[in-house]
Structure 1
Amino acid sequence: MSPWQLHGNLRRMFTTSSASASASAIITSFLRDLSNERDLDRLVHSFKQASQSDRFRSKHRIYERTVRRLALAKRFQSIEDILEHQKTFKDISKEGFSARLITLYGKSGMVQNAHKVFDEMPQRNCPRTVLSLNALLASYLHSNVFDMVPTLFNQLPTQLSVEPNLVTYNTVIKAFCEMGSFDSASSMLDDMELKGVKPDVITFNTLLDGLYSNDRFEDGEKIWKRMEDEHVAPDVQSYNAKLVGMCVEKRSGDAVVVVIALHKFL
């Protein structure tokens, strides 16, 4: 290796090391502000400054904590300020980054903003796959706009040429249960079977929670049987749901059996 090559390698090494140290300092400084700063306008300014760093923008947890703090203070304009600012970075052309913004808006109850990010993705040459579809559906779920979840589920997969996956179906089932549309929720299992999507324990627990707690014990038992047929093992939440159903039905004798079954999880 020539002296010039050695010099170039050393310079790149020190430059990379310096950039890494700088990014760490930015993250550490903002985390201190996030915990201690009482002036939320200053916190917003600090966040926007810190987000100039590529490494900072990869910290999902920091984004979640910041948005949650602003949401608790009902500073929704500030949430919009920091999230719209993210559109100035090249990351916005990556689906994962856009999906994160959709999710953050949804968890703040700002579903119109979430849908706007989703609609703008093609303008930024950003692909829309099942990842962003699921983020959009979840944003309506988090915002308690439950009826839009099945509506979008019936429209978007065909429009986008996207195949719904397990997360998609679980979100739609949850929305149906929140609306009290338990028959529609249960029928999604048939749709999943038709599409070759295997339900998991989350799928069944969502249905069991809804049915057992709403005086639909026999329907809950049918779902439990189907869970066994699908070779999906019940967990603590499954047994707790059944226990609630038995209490609603005043089946104290049967409830003892469920309590005994729960001991294996202790």
Structure 2
Amino acid sequence: MGSEKKMKALVMWFLLIWYVSQQAVITPAMNRSLEGGTADEKNYYPPDPHGGNSNGTPCTTPPSTHGSPPSTHGTPLPPSPGGGGGGGGGHYNPPSTPAITTPLSPPVPLAPPAPPYQVIPTPPATPMDPDPNTPPFSCDYWRTHPTAIWALLGFWCPLSQIFGMPAASFFGSNPSLVEAMSDARSDGIGALYREGTASFLNSLVDRDFFFTTQQVRDAVNAAVVSDEAAPAQAELFKKANKGHLKHH
């Protein structure tokens, strides 16, 4: 008997605890439900059969918005993405403008590579004839400008006066300087007289001439007595008269 009473008392204790826990859960829910219903009842207005508003005031004129429809700063609000037909207040996001892309400029073509540097050999310098109007002058210049000789020595200056009588005697006569440079002999003696006379005149007008006046006289008198020495000395005089012989 004692054990059965203990068992019944334990069952009753569990039932009591279960009932109390159920009441703790149901009571707040019922309170929230009653509060919601009361709030709805407070805000509910039955429709007026005489055309009044739901709040009990007679409706004589439709609500006015000062002659203009509701404005949302000049831009109508589109329906909300959530649907439902009801338009709650929201922020209107205008459609984004596509970004403007600048077309790329065409690539600049690269310049072709420069050809490899080539060294062009320079030909050896060849002696050039001097300015015909600048000393030294050639034999032809003196021969065709007798007034220049006359201004320098006198037109009738004989050959013996500049080289001496021994040198003039090989010529066969005592010609003037113009006649000596106009001689048509083709041997070495004739060339020696022509080029030697021009070298003598160049030594008087050009201080940088390769031969001095005395050297010209001595060379003519030494070469006129030899058929081999005369053409060789005449060739040296000719190079000097063209400016091809220079002092180093």
TM-score tier by shorter-chain length is: under 0.3
| Greater relative contact order (CA < 8 Å, ≥ 6 in sequence) | 2
Considering fraction of residues, name the structure with more helix. Answer: 1
Q: What is the TM-score normalised by the length of structure 2?
A: 0.17
